[in-house]
Amino acid sequence: MIALTIAQLARAVGGEAVLAGDATADTLVSGGVDTDSRLIGPGGVFVAKPGEETDGHLFVDAAVANGAAVAIVERPVDADVPQIIVPSAVEALADLARHVVATVRADGGLRIVGITGSNGKTTTKNLLARILEDEGETVSPKASFNNEVGAPLTMLRVTRDTRFLVSEFGASAPGEIARLAGLVEPDVGIVLMVGLAHAGGFGGIEATFHAKSELVRAVRPGGLAILNADDGRVAAMAPIAAELGVAVRWFGRGHGAEVRADDVVVEASGTSCVVSVDGESAPLRLRVLGEHHVMNALAAIAAATALGVSLTDCVARLETVELAERWRMQPLGSDRVRIINDAYNASPDSMAAALRTLAQITGPGERTVAVLGAMSELGEHADEEHDRVGLLAVRLGVKRIVVVGADARRMYLEAIAQGSWDGEAVFFATADEAYAYLLTELRDGDRVLVKSSNSAGLRFLGDRLGESFS
């Protein structure tokens, strides 16, 4: 975080400062900000956020022991540290992020990119950050820091030297993206796709469209919206941008896109294509596995070239990326038995993309195996969408369909209904049971996809399989 006095901190968050020790209102604080006392370092700011299972106020002493210089609290705590008392620690975190980013932006050198979409946010964020980091200091989220806590914590990592801030905006309800993006008013807003991920929280696909369009509305006037030309709902956000004085730049596979991919070839070692940007073309070989990541790369290229990076540099930097993120199409195992661990998140769209990738990268004499768990947060669409996954797995000719967990059972039942009743489809209640089965079932030449939502926990099953067949 940039250096602020305790008085400036208190004003930024609308709180009351209570001093302790040798501290004065003019004492400078410049350490990192966090809600986890274990991650606080010397000179840091600890935000005592109440939680569902515990309360940050119980860990103020631990934060002080790790070097905290200030604690932001909702009530006074008996600890030898200056405290800033606020009505809401989460709102104070957002207010502080807004203040810090605005202060750095006023210097004139900071450009801000916001990313949202039902799928692909984290991969696109990582690809774009890789391109921009060679241009200057770039701050981007760790893992999927994209909620009301993670997004502000990322913003608070900017310094006076930061040239680019890449923010990822996730949401499970209307208004969340507007609130988070409104903290920084991005210069560039990327909308990847509108799908059924989190549809249960939004209340349906149309509500999801309106929620994702909140990013376009948050882009500062004169800024740029980068929209997926191949997604009709995303394309329908263009009039919103025009109304607000925000330019539009299109990416996609169709000929109308300004940033386009042609000649896409998917292999087990990666995906190749030819990228065209405003008439200039260059071959790109992505080591990140899966055809769907081509769209994420196009979105990153669209943003980076709009920010002044050449297509040549974009391609060269993207080709150095070996893995988008842990548990996202992560290759494990060996050439003998290849495990693809993609069990950090799952929606109907990402599930379909992963299954298609499995089919595309499996060659003659090799066998496809899909280990599938539940997709969460689908609300009233859950039954139908789990049925669709089971049907798709059968239609793609997956040789072994291993369904894990009661919430995913409909995938198994649909696969059985579609003809996978002679041992091709099996069901296990737990990951341990599935693991025991797979240890004896998998053989040389198998290509294994492990796919589920985070809550299903199959990412750890994928790790175990990767170790066992390494």
DSSP labels, 74-112 = SS--SSSS-EEE-S-HHHHHHHHHHHHHHHHHTTT--EE
* 204 is annotated as contributing to ligand binding: no
102 located within any domain: no
Whether 120 has a binding-site annotation, put simply, is: yes
Same domain, 146 and 273: yes
Residue 201 pLDDT > 60: no
Residue 100 falls inside a structural domain: no
Residue 452 annotated as part of some ligand binding site = no
Inter-residue contact 2 to 160 (CB < 8 Å): yes
123 annotated to bind ligand:
yes
Please give the structure tokens belonging to residue 390: 């089971």
Q: What is the mean pLDDT of residues 56-73?
A: 97
DSSP 20: -
- Tell me which of 62, 90, 118 is where a domain ends: 90
Please tell me the total count of domains within the chain: 3
Average pLDDT over residues 325-353: 91
Q: Look at residues 289, 318, 347 and tell me which one is the last residue of a structural domain.
A: 318
Beta carbons of 163 and 136 less than 8 angstroms apart: yes
Do 301 and 342 reside in the same domain of the chain?
A: no
pLDDT average, residue stretch 367-394 = 93
pLDDT, one tens digit per residue, over 206-225 is 888 999 999 999 999 999 99
Domain assignment present for residue 394? The answer is yes
Do 14 and 119 fall within a single domain? no
Using pLDDT thresholds of 50, 70 and 90, give the confidence band for residue 198: low
119 is in an annotated binding site: yes
Note whether residue 101 is domain-resident: no
Same-domain pairing of 420 and 391: yes
Residue 255 is predicted with a pLDDT of 85
Given 60, 90, 120, the domain boundary residue is 90
DSSP label of 328: B
Average pLDDT over residues 156-176: 92
Residue 159 is assigned to a ligand binding site: no
Choose the weakest-confidence range: 139-143, 178-182, 296-300, 356-360: 139-143
Domain assignment present for 323? no
CATH number of the domain to which 80 belongs? 3.40.1390.10
CATH of the domain at 194: 3.40.1190.10
Residues of the domain holding 361: 330-468
Q: Is there a single domain that holds both residue 188 and residue 307?
A: yes
Check residue 200 and give its pLDDT. Answer: 54
